[in-house]
Chain A
Amino acid sequence: MLTALIIDDEAPSREELKTLLAAAADIEVLGECANAIEGLSAIRRLRPDVVFLDIQMPRVSGLEMVGMIDASALPQIVFVTAYDEHALQAFEEHAADYLLKPIDPQRLARTLDWLRSGVRRSGTAFPGSAEKLRQVPCFGRNRIFLLPLDEVEFVHTDIAGVQVVGKERQGTTELSLKILQERSSLIRCHRQFLVNLDQIAEIELLDNGAAEIVTRSGRRVPVSRRHLREMKDRLLIP
C-alpha cells in the first residue's frame, strides 16, 4: 500500500490525477492541496509515501517547495508538469520521476510499479548548493503569506511550531529551523532561535556568559553561551 498526496493549483488537474490513481487498488490518496504552502503543511501532517507535485504553482513553485523540506522527512516526489522545460531541473532536484500532462495512464502505471518496488531514487541529502530561500511561506491568522527573508528578524520554535517574526508580520511556518539555517543567511543563536544579523540593533551581554539581542523593532532574542562565540565571530566582535 502506498499513500499519496496531490499538490497542484489546478482543480481539473488534481481531479484527473485522482481519477487515474483510483484505478490502482493499492494507492491511497490521502489528500490534495492547491498550493505549495498548504502542501508543506500536509506533508508534515499526513506523511505520505509519495507526492505528485505540480511545478508551476503560485508564489512558491514545486521545485522551490522540495527545497524547503528536510531531507529526512522528504517523501518520494513525482513532478507533474504540462510542459517539459523543467524536467531536467526536476531530476537535478532528486525527483523520483516526472510525468507530463495530460497524463498518459500507461506511463503513470510504470511510475507506480517503480514506486511499489521500493527503490528510492531520491531521499539523499539535498545538495548544499541549492538556491538560497528568498521568502518564507507562513500561515498567519486566516491567511497564507510569504515573508521576504530580509524582513525576518528572528525565527524560533515553540509548542505550536516554527514561528517566523518580522517587523510587521509574524506567522507559523512548516519549514524546520534546520532547513531555514541551511537555506538562508539566518544565524543560530540559541537552540530554539535563529536570528537575522541585519536586523540586530544591539547585543546585551549578561553576567552568566550568555547574551540577549535587541532587534531593530525592539524585540528580545536570547543568545546561549554556546552560540555567543560564533555570533561574535560572524559580527567581527573580539
Chain B
Amino acid sequence: MMLDEINHLELIGSLMQQMCVYLVIAYLLSKTPLFAPLMQVTVRLPGRLVCYLVFSGFCVMGTYLGFQIEGAIANTRAIGAVLGGLLGGPVVGLAVGLTGGLHRYSLGGFTDAACAVSTTAEGVIGGCLHLYLLRSQRADRLLSPTLAFWTTLGAELLQMLIILLMARPFDQAARLVAHIVLPMTLTNAVGAALFMRLILDRRETLEKYSIAFSAKALRIAERSVGVLLQGFNEHNCKRMASVIQEETGVGAVAITDSEKLLGFVGIGADHHLPGTPIASPHTRHAIERNEVVYADGATLPYCCSLSKDCKLGSCLVIPLRDEANHVFGTIKLYEPKRKLFSSLNRTLGEGIARLLSNQVLAGRIEEQKRLLAQSEIKLLQAQINPHFLFNALNTLAAVIRRDPEAARQLVQYLSTFFRKSLKRVGNEATLGDEIEHVDAYLRIEQARFADRLDVQYAVPADLRRLRLPAFSLQPIIENAIKYGIAQMLEAGTIRISAQRQEGVLTIVVEDSAGLYRPTPGGEGLGMNLVDRRIKIRYGAAYGIEVSCERDCWTRVAIRLPVEEELAPC
C-alpha cells in the first residue's frame, strides 16, 4: 500500500479490527490456566516465565496481524511489550520488547531497526513503571486500565520519535509517522486498556467464584459441626446429608457406611431407604478400591440399581477414610438426569468427604474417652471402700448393744447406701437422688464419729430435680470425710450446698478441716474421675474446683450446666 492511498480513518478502522482479533485471542487465552500467573503481580520465576512467553507471543502476533505500509508495518505490537513490562517487571519487559523487536527486525523494511529499538524501549518503560509502583507500595495500580492506556500512549509516541531519529531516508520516515501516529497510538493505547480490563474481569470472576466456593464450604462446615461427633448412625447421617444437600444444591445426597445406606436426602428418597444394604456397583467399587468414582451418566453410565423410574442420572461417590486410610463409608452426591454435575460440587464433595471423615474419627475418640470415664466411675462405684464397710459394721455392733432402734435405723441407711451404690442402670441421676445417697453415707459416718461430725445441707428443694451424672457427689463426700473430718482432732462440719446461677448448677462440699493438699498421692482419684467425666461431657468450663484455707476449710465446687428433669422418675 502506498502512503498516498492511505486514508486515516480507514487505517484506524483496520487497526481497530486487527485489535479486535487480537483481543478475542487474548480472551480465549484468558480461559486457560496460562493466564493465572498474569492475574497477580508475581515475583516468582515460573510466573515471570509465563508472563514473558505470553506477552512475547502477543508481540509477535501484533506484528503479524499488522499490515504493511510502504515497507513499514502498522501494528499493535506495543500492547504486548508494555503490558509485559507492567506485569512482569523490567527484566520481563526488556525480554519481551527484545523478542518482539528482533522478530520485527527479521521482517525487514526501512523501519526495522527503529522498530526493534522502540519495541524494546516500550517493554523497558512498562518494566520501569512496574518497579516504580512496586517500590512506592502501589502495586494494585499496576492492573489499572487507565494506567495501561496512558503508558502505551506515551510509549507509542516514543516509538514515533525513534522512527524519526533512526529510519532513513528521513523524509519517508516523516511521512510515515505523520500518517500512522494517530491511528497507532490510539489503537495501541485503547487495546492495552481493554487487555488490562480483560485481565481484571477474569480476576474478579475467579475471586467471586472462590468466595462463593469457600462461603459454601464454610457454611457446610459450620452447619455440620458436631453432628457426626455424636456417632456415625442413621439419625446423624440424615441430618448431615440434608445440610449438604441444602448447601450444595445437588439432586440428592447419600451417606453410607461400608455395608449399608445410613442417610439419604433428596430426589429418590422414596426408594433409597436408610438401613438397606449397598446396591450400587459404583459404591462397592469406591469402597473396595478406596477411590473416588464418578459416574457422570455419559462416559461412565449411572443407573439406579434400586428402581427403573429413578430420576437420578449421575453420581459421585467419595470414600470416607479413617486415620489408617481404610474406607469406613462413602458420601454420594447425585444429580438428576437432566442436570450436569458442576465441577464446583465435585471439588466440594471431596472436601465434604474429608470433613465427614474427620468428624467421625473425632467422634469415635470422644466416644471412647466418654466410655472410659464412665467405666472408671462405674468401677469406683462398685468398689465399696472396705474401710467404710468394716467401720460401719463395727459401729453397728456397738450401737446394737446400746440402742437397738438406732441400730435398726443404721441398717436402713446402710442398705440405702448399698442399693444406690450398686445401682448400675442409667448414667444420670437427679440431685435429689445423689443427696439421698450421700446422706445415707453421712448418717453412718455420723454414728461412727459420734459428736465429731456435724452435717449441714443448704440445697433448695427446686434444685433437687436437676439432673447430673450419677455418682458425682459421693466420691467428693468420701474424700471430705477420709482426708478431712477423719483427720481432725476436734469436731468438724461438712456443709453441702447447691445453687443455680445463669444456667450453671454449682454444688459445694465444704469441710472444716482445711487439710487438702493440691498433690495428694492418689487420694483424689475419685474426685479426678468425676472431674474428667464432667469435662468430657460438658466441656472444660465445667468440672471440679478445689480451694482450701489451711486448717480452716476445704471447699470443693462442682460446676455443671443445668439439665432440667425431662420426665418425672
Q: List chain A positions with a Cβ less than 8 A from chain B.
A: 9-13, 15-16, 19, 35, 37, 56, 58-59, 82-83, 100-103, 144
**Which one, A11, A59, A101, contacts B451 given CB within 8 A?**
A11
Shortest Cβ gap from B337 to chain A (Å): 77
A12, B393: Cα distance in complex, Å: 11
Binds A, one of B59-67, B133-141, B370-378, B485-493: B485-493
Q: Is the CB of A35 within 8 A of B489?
A: yes
Asked whether B499 is an interface residue with its Cβ less than 8 Å from the other chain, the reply is no
B29 within 8 A of A: no
Q: Which of B448-468 contact A (CB under 8 A)?
A: 448-452
Is B486's CB under 8 angstroms from A58's CB?
A: yes
Q: Is the CB of B449 within 8 A of A10?
A: yes
Instruction: Determine if A59 and B386 form an interchain contact, defined as CB atoms under 8 angstroms apart.
Output: no
Docked Cα-Cα span, A213 to B536, in Å, equals 59
Expressed in whole angstroms, the Cα–Cα distance for A37 and B486 within the complex equals: 15
As a 0/1 sequence over residues 414 to 448 of chain B, the CB contacts with chain A under 8 angstroms (1 = contact) are 00000000000000000000000000000000011
Contacts A82-B387, A82-B391, A101-B394; is A16 near B486 (CB within 8 Å)? no
- Interface status of B397 (Cβ within 8 A of chain A): yes
A101 touches B390 (CB 8 A): yes
Interface-central residue, A58, A59, A101, by most chain B CB under 10 Å: A58
B31: interface (CB < 8 Å)? no
- Contact across chains for A58 and B450 when beta carbons are under 8 A apart: no
Q: Determine which of A15, A19, A37, A56 lies in contact with B387 in the assembled complex, contact meaning CB atoms within 8 Å.
A: A56
Asked if B391 contacts A10 (CB within 8 A), the reply is yes
- Chain A residues closer than 8 Å to B448, beta-carbon distance: 10, 12
- Tell me if B's interface is mostly helix, strand, loop or mixed: helix
In the complex, which residues of chain B have a beta carbon less than 8 angstroms from the beta carbon of A83?
Answer: 386-387, 390-391
The residue in chain A whose Cβ has the minimal distance to the Cβ of B485 is: A58
- Chain B interface residue count, CB cutoff 8 Å, equals 23
Q: Is the CB of B390 within 8 A of A11?
A: no
Q: Which residues of B contact A12 (CB under 8 A)?
A: 394-395, 398-399, 447-448, 450
Q: Which 3 A-B pairs have the closest CB atoms?
A: A12-B398, A16-B398, A102-B397
Residue B44, interface by CB 8 Å: no
B308 contacts partner chain A, Cβ-Cβ < 8 Å: no
Check A10 against B395 for contact (C-beta < 8 Å).
Answer: yes
Asked whether, in the complex, the Cβ of A102 is within 8 Å of the Cβ of B394, the reply is yes
30 sampled A-B residue pairs with Cβ under 8 A? A9-B486, A10-B394, A10-B395, A10-B448, A10-B449, A11-B450, A12-B394, A12-B448, A12-B450, A15-B402, A16-B397, A16-B398, A16-B401, A58-B487, A58-B488, A58-B489, A59-B487, A59-B489, A82-B393, A82-B394, A83-B386, A83-B391, A100-B390, A101-B393, A101-B394, A102-B390, A102-B393, A102-B396, A102-B397, A144-B489
Q: In the complex, what's the smallest C-beta–C-beta distance from A89 to chain B, in angstroms?
A: 15
Chain A min CB distance to B258 (Å) = 51
* Cα separation A16 to B531 with both chains bound (whole Å): 40
Nearest Cβ in chain B — how far from A54, in angstroms?
10
